Amino acid sequence: MKLITTRIPDVKIIEPKVFGDERGFFMETWNAQLFSFLGIKADFVQDNHSRSVKNTLRGLHYQIKQSQGKLVRVTRGEVFDVAVDLCTSSPTFGQWVGEYLSEDNKRMMWVPPGFAHGFLVTSETADFQYKCTDFYSPDHERTIRWDDPTLNVQWGVDNTDDLLLSEKDKNAQSLEQAMAELKEHY
């Protein structure tokens, strides 16, 4: 496995070794010992799988309690995946990292606890799978606007009218509105 450090050192890109021939391929997607050696120590408690159509934007989601670390990957299609540092004492607070994850490049992204997470589907459909270090807690889930001007995430979309958003994501708060709660928990 190859570990790629991003401009936010806590967010990592993992390129697994892929063994393939005319029959298909094999790759290891999680190995606690190897990932620990690479600096990713995580006890996963939940796996999730979502399927979305092109132009679906999900996020930027996080939990104020039971903060989740996520190991994310795409098994069909392609997404632009984004992690935003919400740790108010961090030197990279409010900064984001984006990476294309696809069934072709087989890359994974480690999104540590204390980060908001979201993705935009760039292919016709995408299957997105991720492991979580804590359980989903609807009472503690929060969302920051995908288009928050303070964050200035560059989603690479020309026409935002084409985006498909849930009501929760359409009505998300700004980073400024989230600050008091973030300071209390992160």
- 93-149 per-position pLDDT tens digit: 999 999 999 999 999 999 999 999 999 999 999 999 999 999 999 999 999 999 999
Q: Is residue 94 part of a domain?
A: yes
In the set 61, 62, 117, 186, the catalytic residue is 61
Q: Collect all residues with Cβ–Cβ distance below 8 Å to 79 and sequence separation of at least 6.
A: 100, 101, 102, 119, 120, 121, 122, 123, 126, 128
Active-site annotation holds for 130: yes
Domain that includes residue 69, residue range: 42-185
Q: Collect all residues with Cβ–Cβ distance below 8 Å to 120 and sequence separation of at least 6.
A: 55, 56, 57, 79, 80, 82, 155, 156, 157, 163
Q: How many structural domains comprise the chain? A: 1
* CATH number of the domain enclosing 137: 2.60.120.10
**Do residues 23 and 30 touch, judged by C-beta distance below 8 A?**
no
Q: Is residue 28 part of a domain?
A: no
Q: Is residue 25 part of a domain?
A: no
Residue 127 pairs with which residues in a beta bridge?
51, 76
Q: Is residue 84 part of a domain?
A: yes
In the set 62, 130, 136, 186, the catalytic residue is 130
Three-state DSSP at 177 gives helix
Q: Is residue 142 part of a domain?
A: yes
The predicted pLDDT at position 158 comes to 86
